[in-house]
Structure 1
Amino acid sequence: MSNRNDQPDMQRRDFIGKTVLAAGAATIAPGVLLTVANASSTEGVSSQVRWGMLIDTDKCADDCSACVQACNKENGIDLIDRPQGQSDEMWNAQRPQWIRKVKLRDIQTGEISQLPMMCQHCEHPPCVDVCPTGASFKRADGIVMVDRHICIGCRYCMMACPYKARSFIHQDVAEQVTGAPRGKGCVESCNLCAGRIDAGQQTTACQDACNRDGHKAILFGDLKDPNSEIAQALKAHHSRQIRADLELNTGVRYTNV
């Protein structure tokens, strides 16, 4: 049995990574560039960092969808139109969702919690374990991503993900943003705004939107830095993993659940 931390076809990925790093960016479609972490540097991302999120469900407003809308705009998901004649049921089942709002109701007390749910960026991601081509992978800094160059659309990762955090692109993508290339037949999910982080920014689009609306329910940062705001918050408040029983050591944690 292979080690759960092993990732398939590492030699191929290393070759692709070094080739793209040498170029700084690769053209994958007219007008669309696939950029890589720290493209101006040969150092790449570091395992000294682990990016993560802490979400305070008490601050997540029931009628607010700012995080969802910001994610859709950041990644060009809002550019996809509903296919003509498609039913509500089919559209809701097939439309891409990198982040969605989930309601939890306590059976005993009736208390309702609001959870923004996205890829949990596991330390031991099941999606990586089952991917036959190595398209699903975890970066050294803990961000779980999909390499669209080698994704064959088998959707094993979608079945393996206990959080239903991945989407499959069912239709042609006529329009997309340069920083988030997308294409029919590939799987995709939240990447913690890796493009922004690699460019030196310190916040995600969903966090910024939540802050602008005054809720401040999402906190993003380096889990390994004891002086970071998120690390200090995790020390000060009890937090939980979703499906902690799976022992995936998720990079996304929740308080007041």
Structure 2
Amino acid sequence: MSRDPDPSREKPEAPSASRRGFVGVAAAALAGVAIAPGIHLVEVARASTDAAAAGANPRVRWGLLIDTTKCAAGCTDCVDACNAENGLDPRPTPTNAQWIRKVEIREVKTGRVSSAPVMCQHCASPPCVDVCPTGASFKRADGIVLVDRHTCIGCRYCMMACPYKARSFVHEPLTDQKPDVPRGKGCVESCTLCVHRIDAGGRTTACAEACTKAGHGAIVFGDLNDPDSEISRRVREAASVQLRADLRLDPGVRYQGIAS
């Protein structure tokens, strides 16, 4: 979900008083305007206020661990769960947003092929944030990389900068949106690590939950900074790699079962 909690978002400087006044007037003018059936800007503003009150915990680094040895090539449980959770159209068309895609990774030396889900890698040094001209792409204090749809101008610089091709552009008007995950035509979007769940006190993402329920156990969500968490324990016990580690972006998504 697009949220911008002040305590957690990294900003170069605070907005001026005049800018704050303009934003306040604009928000008041737009309050109550419907952006989709069942979703109003006033509801989105209230959700953002609740998140800001809590704030993202800077001591936490949320991430995913994906065990490719347990991920079957034909399985789409994580993709289906993501689509259902976030109101994405599951039909495979060139213009449909895609937050998770299944890819095949072939090891050059052995020829071994692994199947793995690839999504926003929630980098510690995200290039999408670096190139965004409006600050719409941002990283929270807990490591989650998001897009603020109120300030996204649809330039798609972030899509070009992402080495994982993890971002999508919304080309068409949207209907039947999820109240917790507002989306909009003309905006860029990507995996949010189910931030709406996290901010509500949830313990896992939709993709990890679906993978566990199906008995695969290929996706683990958790706090990479907590040495007692399952994800940290598994990272210690077995070698894991970061996709395109050579770029030194320090992704929050780690993979096991593939060569570095």
User: Do Structure 1 and Structure 2 share a fold, with TM-score over 0.5?
Assistant: yes
Q: Secondary structure at the match of 2:53?
A: coil
Q: Kindly state the Cα deviation for residue 61 of structure 1 after the two structures are TM-superposed.
A: 0.9
For the aligned residue pairs, the C-alpha RMSD in angstroms reads 2.6
2:6 — aligned with what? none
* TM-score, reference length from structure 1: 0.84
Q: For 2:189 and 2:10, locate their aligned partners in 1 and report how far apart those are by CA, in whole Å.
A: 18
Q: Is the 2:10–2:141 Cα contact (8 Å) retained in structure 1? A: no
Superposed displacement of residue 205, structure 1: 0.2
Q: CA–CA distance in 2 between the matches of 1:188 and 1:64? A: 24
TM-score calculated relative to the size of structure 2: 0.83
1:15–1:44 Cα change, 3 Å: farther
Distance of 1:131 and 1:234 partners within structure 2: 32
1:136 and 2:137 matched: yes
User: Would you say the 8 A contact 2:68–2:256 is kept in 1?
Assistant: yes
Match of 1:242 in 2: 243
From the superposition, tell whether residues 129 and 202 of structure 1 become closer, same or farther in structure 2 (CA, over 3 Å): same
Is the contact between residue 38 and residue 44 of structure 1 (CA under 8 Å) also seen in structure 2?
no
Shift in alpha-carbon separation, 1:216–1:151, aligned structure 2, 3 A? same
The question of 1:11 aligning with 2:14 is answered yes
Task: Give the deviation of 1:40 after TM superposition.
Answer: 7.0
Gaps of 5+ in 1: 1-5, 83-87
Paired residue for 1:193?
A: 194
Give the conservation status (yes or no) of the 8 Å contact 1:49–1:225. Answer: yes
Q: How many residues align?
A: 236
Partners of 1:10 and 1:134 within 8 A in 2:
no
Q: 4+ runs of 1 displaced by more than 2 Å?
A: 6-16, 26-31, 33-38, 40-43, 106-110
Name whichever of 164-173 and 175-184 sits farther off. Answer: 175-184
Q: Within 2, Cα distance between the matches of 1:195 and 1:216? A: 23
| Structure 2 unmatched ranges of 5 or more | 1-8
Is the 8 Å Cα contact of residues 173 and 184 (structure 2) preserved in structure 1? yes
> Is residue 58 of structure 1 aligned with residue 61 of structure 2?
no
1:149-200 Cα deviation digits (max 9, x unpaired): 0000000000000000000000011221111111110000000000001110
Specify the SS of the correspondent of 1:42: helix
Partner of 2:146: 145
1:106, distance to aligned residue in structure 2 (A): 2.4
- Inter-CA distance 189–112: structure 2 relative to 1 (3 Å threshold): same
